[in-house]
Structure 1
Amino acid sequence: MTVALPWSELAGRALACCTEIAAFTEQPGCTTRTFLCAPMREVHAWLNTWAASLGLETHLDAVGNWHTTRPSLNPDARTLILASHLDSVPNAGAYDGVLGVVLGLTLLEALRDTPLPYHVRVVGFSEEEGVRFGVPFIGSRALVGTADELLGLTDAGGTTVAQTITAYGLDPAALPEARLREDVLGYLEFHIEQGPVLEAEGRPLGPVEAIVGQARLNLRFTGWANHAGTTPMGLRRDALAGASAFVLAAETLARATPGLVATVGSLTPFPGAINVIPGEVWLTLDIRHARDEVRQGTLERLLAEGQRIAWERHLAFSHEPRMEERATPMDPALTSLLVEALAAEGLDAPAMVSGAGHDAMIVAPIWPATMLFLRSPGGVSHHPDEAVLPEDVAAALRVGARFLTLLAAREETRTPFQEDTP
């Protein structure tokens, strides 16, 4: 395997690319890029220039996903997808999503003189974060053909997804053409971990074996608002006290359940006055685990605990679902190949679970998919202080190149009608 430049130099260039792309933003002074905002044109133009320097053509599909493909010498070859997203949360860091796209292009540059028995398609998804329209993964849903139902979603200003696509100069009627119909052999996504596990274990990289399933709910405790000075403690129906007991119960149960996380991220008491006993409290619950049966069983126990707390305190308790995503296992064969690539580069590689959602969870039910995490210093993400270490980026590129060559060897031994074994 011959590479164009030393890995450390390629890693430095990749990080510089991320820094340049971070400057394309809707908000001066910080990085914010929502679905098909004006600065996304600058991102696309920047990527187009890089791809052109490698002799590659590019195009945008109907939702603004950016594509470039390095073709195999065999026109009937299958396709490997290297992808991540180009949008961001408000006031973001420079690496969430973007690093995965940049590493894909960097690998194409590094291996430009290495023949591969498959096509390599790099995709920059137009939307993953769900910031503008409240629903994530518009880009990857379009790639697998499940985005039709999203066209009518509206943002805070009443603009629909379809209108946003049109305003960007694309055609929402062409959405069916955004579905990738090639023979896909696999999907690999590089991504920063966005958490503290790799750093705590002293590891630069980690292969992902599953993305957690998650449920989000709105909850409500209802009591009776009354005068804070004249109502004795024993006669109160304090909705906030009940909600607080539920928050502690959620934390206790999550701590006692390996691999489970439960978060009450929002709690709003009414009427919210200093001298009034809260008569109603709205709160949210986010609960996640890599095994759906564990998550669902714990959720049932928590909701039963909410009912018990309400009964004990003479309150009413209700709940409504907001969102549920099933756990997504990564493809065992591709993940095993990734572990082999890590070992070949001298890296310890226990598989890990992703606590955040990623485009890979949309792709994995359709095509074999796997992910490689890079260490996040301080566990920081979705924040301007988000960082990645140059040596970790160089290691990810080495492992990525090794993975591509191992996959090439596997693909060359595959007969035209051979089925992949799980």
Structure 2
Amino acid sequence: MRIPVDIAALGSRAAAMIEELGAISASPDNLTRLFLTPEHRRAADLVARWMSEAGLVVDEDALGTVRGGWHPAGPDAPRLLIGSHIDTVVNAGKYDGAMGVILGILAVAEIARAGLAPSYGIDVLAFGDEEGTRFPTTLSSSAAAAGIFPPASLAGVDGDGVSLREALLAYGKNPDDIPSAAYDPSKVIAYVEAHIEQGPVLEAEGEPLGVVTAIAGASRLSVTVTGEAGHAGTVPMRMRHDALPGAAEMALEVERIARADRHGMVATVGRMHVEPGSVNVIPSRVVFTVDLRSGSDDSRREALTRFEREAHRIADRRGLGVVISAFHEVATVPCYRDLQLRLRNAAADLGHRTPSLASGAGHDGQAMSKLCPVGMLFVRCRGGISHNPAEYTSPEDMGLAAAALIRFIERFQLPQLDGGPNGAQT
């Protein structure tokens, strides 16, 4: 069955929904909507209303994930999951996460209205902790759905000293119910997410949609460089043990390693703390962070080994100490080849070529990959800008993405997928 799609109407509706959801914020001056806050509650209620209006059966799990179900084959039939998140960073854009939830609702609403009767059901999911902005956790909502929620994270506290457990209770949830949020793996076919690219590649190639090949693995390091404080005016340059130039040289080494990589590696030194921090004192201690991401775990591991070797070489040459510790490690998640092909064919049916892209940003698909095969559709965003109020995706591109999801769903008649991650056959 081929469902007629009105791309302009879909895009217009998506844009209106983006504006309505984007108005829910903790601040009148910018968009800030953190996990388990009153703003999250209002956003979840709005999404639940949209789902209900679309004819979906609405539920909410123990982590606050809003679930809109359409089950034409009955509640016991296997399910295709479509979703994204509704939490934001501080001073955020309106499209990151929210667009994927909205497009999922619009696509399933069109499918249901058309009277399609597949042998599977669909759940649209609105997760709440993808950004990891409030608590020292990330992906806790999708981890619960995937059955891999770490109970120890309930003890993590936000900037006000409120633990995740306490916040859940205040939100009206019972942490003891978290295991019930997990899907039965035998009843889930796949997880698919539409998301803004958060990068400039699609715009540069003049294409509105792209297919994600993998969600890049990430390593985060804390690097502590120790030297010796001294008077800025009396210690000769040749006799200094200045921690800051050593740290700066190490930061530049991170950049060189990433630039030389052939797997789309990116590296960022996002934070640097200098002690004692006085204008007339030679720095004795510098602590900086490294965020290293790559579409290849082997490449990422090799880069980490090289950085550690070079950092110690720099420290030895300058008479400094250096300690490197990892505080975050996420493996690369390949997107399922069969889902890539199906998304590509759906876009081709609308007359569009879809470049293959790796995602350098993290997504709920990383947690959901522990439950089922994952696939992602990227949507062009202006200037590649994200996590910024200037974030923007046009109504036309959102309409195309919604139409591509509709084409994807209407062709997705078989619950068994044909190809595994990275092209392996199942």
Global fold match (TM > 0.5): yes
**Could you say which residue in structure 2 is the equivalent of 1:165?**
168
CA–CA distance in 2 between the matches of 1:413 and 1:166? 39
Structure 1 position 48, deviation (Å)? 2.5
Q: Tell me, in whole angstroms, the C-alpha distance in 1 between the residues paired with 2:399 and 2:321.
A: 56
Query: Corresponding residue for 2:421?
Result: none
User: 2:21 maps to what in 1?
Assistant: 21
Shift of 1:263: 1.1
- Whether the aligned pair in 1 keeps the contact of 2:211 and 2:354 (CA below 8 Å) is yes
Question: Could you say what secondary structure the match of 1:165 adopts?
Answer: helix
Which of 219, 226, 232 is the aligned partner of 2:236?
A: 232
The 5-angstrom pairing of residues 72-221 of structure 1 reads 72-112=72-112, 113=114, 114-147=116-149, 148-181=151-184, 183-221=187-225
Q: Deviations over 1:6-56 (max 9, x none)?
A: 221111111110110111111122111111111222222222222222332
Q: Relative contact order, CA 8 A, sep 6+: which one is greater?
A: 2
- RMSD value over aligned CA atoms? 1.8
Shift of 1:399: 1.3
Letter in 2 for 1:187: Y
2:390 is aligned with 1:385: yes
2:400 aligned with 1:398, yes or no? Answer: no
Q: Which residue of 2 aligns with 1:417?
A: none
Task: Determine the C-alpha separation between the residues in 2 that align with 1:116 and 1:14.
Answer: 25
Q: Indicate which of 249, 253, 259 corresponds to 1:245.
A: 249
CA contact (8 A) 1:25 1:39 kept: yes
Q: CA deviation at 1:421?
A: 5.1
Q: Distance in 2 between matches of 1:175 and 1:106?
A: 28
Task: Using the TM superposition, give the Cα deviation of residue 59 of structure 1 relative to its aligned residue in structure 2, in angstroms.
Answer: 1.3
Post-superposition offset of 1:2: 5.7
Report the residue type matching 1:82 in the other structure. Answer: I
Matches of 2:52 and 2:390, distance apart in 1: 32
When structure 1 is superposed on structure 2, of 56-65 and 153-162 the one drifting more is 153-162
Contact 2:85 2:100 in 1 (8 A): yes
Change (3 A) 1:110 1:4: farther
* 1:307 aligns with one of 293, 309, 312: 312
Q: Greater shift after overlay, 82-91 or 343-352?
A: 343-352
Q: Give the TM-score normalised by the residue count of structure 2.
A: 0.94
Structure 1 residues 75 and 145: alpha-carbon distance in aligned structure 2, compared to 1, 3 A threshold: closer
Q: Is contact 1:2-1:111 (8 Å) kept?
A: no
Contact 2:108 2:406 (C-alpha < 8 Å) held by counterparts: no
Q: Give the distance between the partners of 1:191 and 1:348, measured in 2 at CA.
A: 17
Gapped regions of structure 2 (runs ≥ 5): 419-423
Q: Which moved more, 1:261-270 or 1:352-361?
A: 261-270
Deviation, structure 1 residue 116: 2.4
Counterpart of 1:67 in structure 2 is 67
Q: Note if contact 2:2-2:410 (Cα within 8 Å) is conserved in structure 1.
A: no
- Distance change in 2, residues 1:226/1:178 (3 Å): same
Which residue pairs with 2:270 in the alignment? 265
Contact 1:33-1:88 within 8 A present in 2 as well: yes
Partners of 1:239 and 1:65 lie apart in 2 by 46
Cα 1:252–1:412 shift into 2, 3 Å: closer
Task: Tell me, in whole angstroms, the C-alpha distance in 1 between the residues paired with 2:201 and 2:94.
Answer: 20
Q: CA deviation at 1:269?
A: 1.4
Distance in 2 (CA, whole Å) between partners of 1:20 and 1:290 is 35
Spell out the pairing of 1:47-58 with structure 2 (5 A cutoff): 47-58=47-58
User: Is 1:39 matched with 2:39?
Assistant: yes
What's the offset of the Cα at 1:3?
4.8
Verify the 8 A CA contact 1:4 1:110 in the aligned structure 2: no
Question: Percent identity between the aligned chains?
Answer: 38
* Secondary structure, aligned partner of 1:81: strand
1:375 to 1:256, Cα distance in 2 relative to 1, 3 A: same
Distance 1:98 1:361, change over 3 A: same
Instruction: Tell me the CA shift for residue 117 of structure 1.
Output: 2.3
Match of residue 329 from structure 2: 324
Q: How far apart are residue 111 of structure 1 and its match? A: 1.7
Unaligned runs of 5+ in 1: 415-419
> Structure 1 length as normaliser, TM-score?
0.95
Secondary structure of the residue aligned to 2:412 is helix
**Aligned residue pairs, count:** 416
| Cα deviation code 1:218-243 (max 9, x no counterpart) | 10111111111111111111111111
SS state at 1:29 partner: coil
Which of residues 345, 351, 376 in structure 2 aligns to 1:346? 351
For 1:162, the aligned partner's letter is R
Is contact 2:189-2:416 (8 Å) kept?
no
Q: Which moved more, 1:21-30 or 1:63-72?
A: 21-30
- Please identify, of 342-351 and 58-67, the stretch whose mean Cα deviation from structure 2 is larger: 342-351
The AA in structure 2 aligned to 1:174 is D
**How far, CA to CA, are the matches of 1:236 and 1:421 in structure 2?**
60
Q: In the alignment, which of 371, 376, 380 is matched to residue 381 of structure 2?
A: 376
State whether residues 54 and 105 of structure 2, in contact with CA within 8 Å, keep that contact through their aligned partners in structure 1. no
Report the alpha carbon displacement of residue 118 of structure 1 after superposing the two structures with TM. Answer: 1.3
Do the aligned partners of 1:84 and 1:101 also contact (CA within 8 Å) in 2?
A: yes
In 1, Cα distance between the equivalents of 2:339 and 2:38? 37
Letter in 2 for 1:234: R
Q: Separation in 1 of the partners of 2:272 and 2:29?
A: 31
Distance 1:334 1:231, change over 3 A: same
DSSP 3-state at the match of 1:387: coil
